[in-house]
């Protein structure tokens, strides 16, 4: 891809930025620390001419006014934990929001938290916990992902089944538009139908329509109990039966339903950092992590345990382990979270985050396997993910390490996704990586509408250019 080059003397811009944010918060070339020049996984390099670190919404706005006047591209950076190159700067300015990391207010009565965009997910979860609440969006990269990045990508994760995606936990945002206008809608009400809900346009727009600077988050009351189990499951049909039974009988208490296919589970067990026997032995066809919120006092836990017993009696599950301590719970989740990241360190590596209807999941997996086996027999594919949401992750590795081969594998997988009328991105977004495939999941008219919105919001294409829609 051709890089977009600023059309003015960057030295001058550097001085203007320094007046706004202070000299030490503007860096160029080799002064820019490596953590700003690549995503955390090392998938995408970033080559900003300048890095700027504003400390407030007013500073973000002033920086954007400079960029707008001179048509200089700006790519925002949150925690850099994204997987699709969404923060990769292809020339111009990278804007890191990491100085804006305050939790400004926690309001237990309203169940809200006001934060700056650069705050870490983990800090938000801890602050919520200290007030008897939870922030329910959760995933493995909680120690590096920021709220701003999560809003920009409409992040999903492990609790979508119960609490929805990021957009369901954001009541209001403050954002800076391409021309430096600050739009603030930091309201705390759950219901608000006064005209277009513009925040939802920005949520999931990957920094291409505006830069989110602050957010009013929606918290939820902390449940009084939680139970986590790992099940060896007979097949996808049995998993579906287990999922729907738990949903019906725990009345909204089912928080997570993650599936891991046998080959993923084996790799994950091999890569474990902790010693000792795995929670369940390898060799079963499918594994499910099930987590419910249950009140120990009203019999919810007992009902959960009885249901698990009945799954074994009915032959849906051959073996089950129930975590009886936080340590055992962590040992179960480690297989799903940390090891996914360890596997992602393999090279060559391709990661997918597709979604299809749950009823089609088994057929989808076997079609992908069959297609890859014929087209690229040396490739290995590992399946796992948020099956309760119809969202699968696939890691493909072991193939000849070149771009053309990677694109061909992606085409094969996305062709199957199209056959099943699924999405090429359930949660990670499009960024740079999936841009060539957007047309497989969105119609021409939908893409044209996106382009028209982009043109209105960012007429000179300075906001995270090249992402989602590519060049105009
Ligand atoms: C996960 C991330 C990769 O679910 O989406 O592990
Ligand atoms: Zn995921």
224 has pLDDT over 90? no
Q: Is 393 in the pocket of ligand 1 (CB under 6 A)?
A: yes
Cβ distance 97 to 213 under 8 Å?
yes
399 has pLDDT over 60? yes
Ligand with smallest separation from the Cα of 344: 1
The pick from 41, 82, 333, 340 for probing ligand 1's pocket by mutation, whose C-beta has the most ligand atoms within 8 angstroms, reads: 340
17 has pLDDT over 50? yes
Q: What's the order of all strands across the beta sheet hosting 211-218? A: 103-107, 112-116, 211-218, 170-176, 182-184
6 has pLDDT over 60? no
Q: pLDDT confidence of 9, banded at 50, 70, 90?
A: low
With CA atoms as reference, report the closest residue to 288 among 249, 317, 325: 317
Instruction: Quote the ligand 2 centre to 352 CA distance (angstroms).
Output: 9
The whole-number pLDDT of residue 375 equals 96
As a whole-number percent, the residues of the chain with pLDDT over 90 amount to 89
7 has pLDDT over 50? no
Instruction: Quote the ligand 1 centre to 311 CA distance (angstroms).
Output: 27
The whole-number pLDDT of residue 252 equals 82
The whole-number pLDDT of residue 90 equals 84
For residues 115 and 96, give the distance between their C-alpha atoms in angstroms, rounded to a whole number.
16
CB atoms near residue 92 (< 10 Å): 25
Burial label for 134, CB within 10 Å (0-12, 13-18, 19+), is buried
Q: Is 364 in the pocket of ligand 1 (CB under 6 A)?
A: no
Q: What's the order of all strands across the beta sheet hosting 286-293? A: 317-322, 226-233, 286-293, 254-261, 380-386, 391-397, 349-355
Instruction: Quote the ligand 1 centre to 139 CA distance (angstroms).
Output: 7
Q: How far is CA 197 from CA 134, 170, 259, in A?
A: 25, 12, 35
Q: Is 340 in the pocket of ligand 1 (CB under 6 A)?
A: yes
Q: Is 135 in the pocket of ligand 1 (CB under 6 A)?
A: no
Q: Is 172 in the pocket of ligand 1 (CB under 6 A)?
A: no
Secondary structure of 156-204 in the HEC alphabet?
A: CCCCHHHHCCHHHHEEEEEEECCCCCEEECCCCCCCCCCCCCCHHHHCC
Ligand 1 atom 5 nearest Cα: 157
Instruction: Quote the ligand 1 centre to 76 CA distance (angstroms).
Output: 22
Q: Any idea which of 57-71, 92-106, 258-272, 289-303 has the lowest mean pLDDT?
A: 289-303
The pick from 346, 353, 390, 391 for probing ligand 1's pocket by mutation, whose C-beta has the most ligand atoms within 8 angstroms, reads: 353
Mean pLDDT of 252-267: 95
CB atoms near residue 283 (< 10 Å): 11
**Positive or negative torsion for Cα 368, 370, 373, 374:** negative
Long-range contacts of 310-315 (CB under 8 A, 24+ apart): 311/231, 311/242, 311/245, 315/234, 315/238
The whole-number pLDDT of residue 280 equals 97
Instruction: Quote the ligand 1 centre to 61 CA distance (angstroms).
Output: 33
What is the token pair recorded at 389?
A: 């949401």
pLDDT digits (tens, 9 = 90+) for 108-155: 999 999 999 999 999 999 999 999 999 999 999 999 999 999 999 999
Q: Is 82 in the pocket of ligand 1 (CB under 6 A)?
A: no
Atom of ligand 1 nearest to the CA of 428: 5
The whole-number pLDDT of residue 3 equals 45
Q: Which helix (H) or strand (E) holds 317?
A: strand 317-322
Partners of residue 146 on adjacent β-strands: 120
Cβ distance 165 to 225 under 8 Å?
no
Instruction: Quote the ligand 1 centre to 262 CA distance (angstroms).
Output: 18
pLDDT digits (tens, 9 = 90+) for 413-432: 999 999 999 999 999 999 99
Q: Is 43 in the pocket of ligand 1 (CB under 6 A)?
A: no
Atom of ligand 1 nearest to the CA of 353: 5
pLDDT digits (tens, 9 = 90+) for 297-324: 778 888 999 999 999 999 999 999 999 9
Q: Is 412 in the pocket of ligand 1 (CB under 6 A)?
A: no
With CA atoms as reference, report the closest residue to 465 among 52, 149, 88: 88
Q: Is 139 in the pocket of ligand 1 (CB under 6 A)?
A: yes
Instruction: Quote the ligand 1 centre to 270 CA distance (angstroms).
Output: 19
Instruction: Quote the ligand 2 centre to 150 CA distance (angstroms).
Output: 12
Residues 6+ apart with CB under 8 A from 286: 232, 233, 234, 235, 236, 238, 239, 259, 260, 261, 262
Residues 6+ apart with CB under 8 A from 445: none
pLDDT digits (tens, 9 = 90+) for 183-220: 999 999 999 999 999 999 999 999 999 999 999 999 99
Q: Is 382 in the pocket of ligand 1 (CB under 6 A)?
A: no
Ligand with smallest separation from the Cα of 395: 1
Mean pLDDT of 38-48: 93
For residues 363 and 439, give the distance between their C-alpha atoms in angstroms, rounded to a whole number.
23
Q: Any idea which of 60-74, 166-180, 241-255, 337-351 has the lowest mean pLDDT?
A: 337-351
Q: Is 352 in the pocket of ligand 1 (CB under 6 A)?
A: no
CB atoms near residue 274 (< 10 Å): 10
The whole-number pLDDT of residue 343 equals 77
Cβ distance 170 to 204 under 8 Å?
no
* Mean of pLDDT over the chain: 94
Ligand with smallest separation from the Cα of 351: 1
Instruction: Quote the ligand 2 centre to 371 CA distance (angstroms).
Output: 23
With CA atoms as reference, report the closest residue to 57 among 144, 177, 208: 177
């Amino acid at each position: 891809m051709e890089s977009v080059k600023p059309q003015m003397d960057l030295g001058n811009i550097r001085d203007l930025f320094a007046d706004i944010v202070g000299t030490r918060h503007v860096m160029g070339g080799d002064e820019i620390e490596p953590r700003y020049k690549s995503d955390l996984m090392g998938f995408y390099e970033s080559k900003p001419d300048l890095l700027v670190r504003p400390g407030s919404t007013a500073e973000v706005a002033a920086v954007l006014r400079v960029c707008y006047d001179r048509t200089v591209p700006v790519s925002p950076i949150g925690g850099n934990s994204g997987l699709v190159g969404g923060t990769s700067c292809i020339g111009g300015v990278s804007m890191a929001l990491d100085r804006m990391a305050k939790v400004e207010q926690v309001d237990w009565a309203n169940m809200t938290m006001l934060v700056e965009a650069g705050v870490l997910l983990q800090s938000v979860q801890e602050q919520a916990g200290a007030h008897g609440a939870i922030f329910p969006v959760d995933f493995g990269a909680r120690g590096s992902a920021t709220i701003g990045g999560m809003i920009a990508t409409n992040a999903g994760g492990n609790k979508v089944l119960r609490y929805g995606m990021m957009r369901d936990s954001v009541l209001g945002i403050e954002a800076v538009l391409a021309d430096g206008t600050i739009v603030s809608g930091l309201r705390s009400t759950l219901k608000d139908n006064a005209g277009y809900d513009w925040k939802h346009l920005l949520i999931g727009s990957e920094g291409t329509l505006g830069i989110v600077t602050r957010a009013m988050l929606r918290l939820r009351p902390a449940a009084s109990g939680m139970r986590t189990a790992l099940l060896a499951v007979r097949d996808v049909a049995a998993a579906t039966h287990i999922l729907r039974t738990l949903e019906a009988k725990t009345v909204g208490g089912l928080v997570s339903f993650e599936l891991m296919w046998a080959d993923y589970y084996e790799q994950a067990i091999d890569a474990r950092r902790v010693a000792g026997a795995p929670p369940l032995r390898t060799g079963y066809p499918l594994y499910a992590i099930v987590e419910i919120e249950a009140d120990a006092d009203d019999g919810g836990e007992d009902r959960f345990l009885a249901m698990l017993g009945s799954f074994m009696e009915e032959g849906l599950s051959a073996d089950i382990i129930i975590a009886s301590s936080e340590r055992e719970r962590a040992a179960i989740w480690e297989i799903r979270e940390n090891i996914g990241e360890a596997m992602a360190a393999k090279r060559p590596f391709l990661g997918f985050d597709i979604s299809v209807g749950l009823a089609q999941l088994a057929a989808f997996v076997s079609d992908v396997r069959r297609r890859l086996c014929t087209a690229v027999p040396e490739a290995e594919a590992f399946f796992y993910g948020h099956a309760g949401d119809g969202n699968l992750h696939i890691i493909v590795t072991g193939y000849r390490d070149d771009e053309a081969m990677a694109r061909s594998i992606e085409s094969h997988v996305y062709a199957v996704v199209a056959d099943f009328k699924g999405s090429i991105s359930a949660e990670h977004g499009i960024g740079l990586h999936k841009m060539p495939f957007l047309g497989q999941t969105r119609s021409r008219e939908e893409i044209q509408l996106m382009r028209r919105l982009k043109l209105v919001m960012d007429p000179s294409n300075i906001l995270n250019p090249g992402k989602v829609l590519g060049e105009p």
